[in-house]
Amino acid sequence: MKPPRTADAPDALTDPPHSPGFEPTPNPEGEMMWRSSPSRYIAKIHMETRKEVLRPIDPEDLLVHAHRDKNPMEVAAQFFASRAIQLTGNESFVRKGLRRINAAGTAVAETLGAATGSETVETQAKKLLGVGERDHFYRFRELTRLSEKELRERIEKLQKDAAALLRARGRNPKLVILLTGATGFLGKEILVQAASDRRVAHVVSVVRPKTIRDPKTKEVMKVLTPAQRGAALLRRLGMTGQKAAKFRFIGGDIEAPDLGIAPAEIVRLQKTVTHVIHCAASVAFDDTYENSYRANVLGSRNALEFALSLQSAKGSRFIQHIAIETSYIHGRKKRSIVQESALTFPRNFYNNFYELTKAMASIETDRFLVERGLRVSQLLPSIVIGHSRTGNNRGDTKVVNAPINAFGRAKEIIDRMRTDPVGRAKAWVVMAFALAFPSDRSAELNLVPVDRVVAGILAALTAPASIGERVHLATDNRLRAEDIVRICKEEIGIDIRLADPTLFRNVTLPVVKAALERMNQPKLANALSKLGTIFGGYGEWGQPVHDVGNDVRVLGLVLHRPSTEFAFRMLCRHNRFVQEFGQIRDEEEIARREAIWEKVIDRIELRTGRQIASIPADEFRRLMTQDLDVKTFRER
**What is the average pLDDT across 82-95?**
66
Kind and range of the H or E run holding 196: none
pLDDT at 85 over 90: no
Give the Cα separation of 629 and 617 in Å (integer).
Answer: 17
Query: 447 has which bridge partners?
Result: 383
DSSP character string of 517-579: HHTT-HHHHHHHHHHHHHHHHHTSSS--EE---HHHHTT---SSPPPHHHHHHHHHHHHHHTS
Show the 3-state SS of 427-466: HHHHHHHCCEEECCCCCEECEEEHHHHHHHHHHHCCCHHH
Same domain, yes or no: 158 and 111: no
pLDDT (average), residues 568-576? 97
| Higher-pLDDT residue of 602, 416 | 602
438, 473, 508 — which closes off a domain? Answer: 473
Q: Which of residues 473, 489, 513 is at a domain's end?
A: 473
Report pLDDT for 19.
38
Name which of 9-23, 80-94, 97-111, 602-616 the model is least confident about: 9-23
Amino acid identity, residue 497? R
> At residue 20, what are phi and psi to the nearest 5 degrees?
-55, -30
Distance CA 142, CA 136 (A): 18
Q: Does residue 53 form part of some domain? A: no
Is residue 606 predicted with pLDDT exceeding 50? yes
User: How many structural domains comprise the chain?
Assistant: 3
> CB of 207 within 8 A of CB of 249?
yes
Q: Has residue 500 been placed in a domain?
A: yes
- DSSP letter (8 states) at residue 480: E
The reported pLDDT for the residue numbered 9 is 37
**For residue 60, is it within any domain?**
no
Residue range 406-430, pLDDT digits in tens: 888 888 878 887 777 777 777 776 7
Beta bridge partners of 140: 42
- Residue 461 C-alpha from the chain's centroid: 22
Q: How many other CB atoms are there within 10 angstroms of residue 219's CB atom? A: 7
User: Using the 8-state DSSP alphabet, how is residue 583 labeled?
Assistant: T
CA gap 51, 406 in Å, rounded: 48
Task: State the average pLDDT over residues 95-102.
Answer: 66
Over residues 81-109, mean pLDDT: 66
Least confident range of 1-10, 277-286, 467-476: 1-10
> For residue 476, with 0-12 CB atoms within 10 Å meaning exposed, 13-18 middle and 19 or more buried, which class applies?
middle
CA–CA dist 402, 388 (Å, integer)? 18
Q: Which residues touch 409 (CB under 8 Å, ≥6 apart)?
A: 523, 524, 527, 581, 582, 583
Q: Check residue 418 and give its pLDDT.
A: 76
Let me know whether 442 and 304 are in one domain: no
Q: Who's near 27: CB < 8 A, 6+ residues apart?
A: none
Q: Do 405 and 302 reside in the same domain of the chain?
A: no
Q: Give yes or no for a contact between 136 and 50, defined as CB atoms under 8 angstroms apart.
A: no
Task: Identify the residue with better confidence: 217 or 164.
Answer: 164
Q: Binning pLDDT at 50, 70 and 90, where does residue 73 land?
A: low
Are 108 and 254 found together in one domain?
A: no
Residue 276 burial (C-beta neighbours within 10 Å; 0-12, 13-18, 19+): buried
Residue closest to 567 by CA, chosen among 335, 383, 340: 383
301 and 184 inside one domain: yes
Q: How far apart are CA 621 and CA 595, in angstroms?
A: 18
CA-CA distances (angstroms) from residue 115 to 105, 110, 112?
A: 15, 9, 5
Whether residue 270 lies inside any domain: the answer is yes
Q: Is 374 exposed, middle or buried (0-12, 13-18, 19+ CB in 10 A)?
A: buried
Q: Provide the pLDDT for residue 71.
A: 58
Supply the mean pLDDT for the chain.
85
pTM of the model: 0.88
- What pLDDT does 504 receive? 79
Note whether residue 41 is domain-resident: no
**DSSP structure class, residue 272:** T
14 phi and psi, to 5 degrees?
-120, -40
Mean pLDDT within 141-150: 86
Phi and psi angles of residue 49, each rounded to the nearest 5 degrees, phi first: -85, -20
The number of residues making up the chain comes to 636
Co-location of 467 and 556 in the same domain? no
How confident is the model at residue 127, as a pLDDT?
A: 56
Identify whether residues 311 and 377 lie together within a single domain: yes
Amino acid (1-letter code) at residue 451 = D
Mean pLDDT is highest, among 49-58, 375-384, 537-546, for: 375-384
Residue 430 shares a structural domain with residue 535? yes
Q: How far is CA 572 from CA 391, 479, 579, in A?
A: 8, 14, 10
Residue 49 has pLDDT above 80, yes or no: yes
In a domain, 533, yes or no: yes
Assign 3-class secondary structure to 58-112: CHHHHEHHHHCCCCHHHHHHHHHHHHHHHHHCCHHHHHHHHHHHHHHHHHHHHHH
Q: Taking a C-beta distance cutoff of 8 angstroms, is the pair 318, 308 a contact?
A: no
Residues 312 and 440 in one domain: no
How many C-beta neighbours within 10 Å does residue 441 have? 15
Q: Which of 40, 30, 34, 33 is nearest to 10 (CA)?
A: 40
Between the CA of residue 26 and those of 46, 123, 149, 430, what are the distances in Å? 30, 41, 40, 57
- 123 assigned to some structural domain: yes
Q: What is the mean pLDDT of residues 13-38?
A: 50
Average pLDDT estimate for 312-329: 95
User: In this model, does residue 610 exceed pLDDT 80?
Assistant: yes
439 with 468, same domain: the answer is no
Kindly state the greatest CA–CA separation across the chain: 85
**Res 131 pLDDT > 60:** no
Q: Are 418 and 349 in a shared domain?
A: no
Per-residue pLDDT averaged across 601-618, rounded? 97
- Whether 3 has a pLDDT exceeding 70, the answer reads no
Mean pLDDT score, 235-243: 93
| Average pLDDT value for residue range 572-598 | 95
* Cβ neighbourhood burial of 51 (10 Å; 0-12, 13-18, 19+): exposed
- Phi/psi class of residue 634: alpha, beta or left (left: φ > 0; alpha: ψ in -120 to 50)? beta
CATH of the domain at 216: 3.40.50.720
The residue range of the domain holding 79 is 71-129
| Mean pLDDT calculated for residue range 214-220 | 83
Is residue 343 in some structural domain? yes
| 521, 575: one domain | yes
Poorest-pLDDT segment among 13-17, 22-26, 445-449: 22-26
Q: With residue 492 as reference, give the H or E element that holds it.
A: helix 481-492
